[in-house]
Amino acid sequence: MRQIKLIWDFRGETAAKTAKHHEIHLKEYIDIEKFPVIITGFEIKNEMHAIAFMVVSDDNMIQVRDALKPHRGEIYQ
């Protein structure tokens, strides 16, 4: 089954801290919705850009997209 990486972008001096904190909320959402194990994380792209992400299956993508409104998505490999 195809997996989708949903991405939230954060920019500015506090981007890394905000992305790290956003991942906490993504994990809380996973617990509330009782999703099977899903990959989450955050990455620092540079000093002014960081992302938080969640990898979901195709089956769950629309539900998560509509509820959490990620900025973008890509196929996860």
Give 54-69 as a DSSP string.
EEEEHHHHHHHHHHH-
Residues 29-71 pLDDT 10s: 999 999 887 899 999 999 999 999 999 999 999 999 999 999 9
Give the C-alpha separation, 54 to 41, whole Å. 7
pLDDT at 69: 98
CA angle 40/22/8 to nearest 5° reads 75
pLDDT at 73: 97
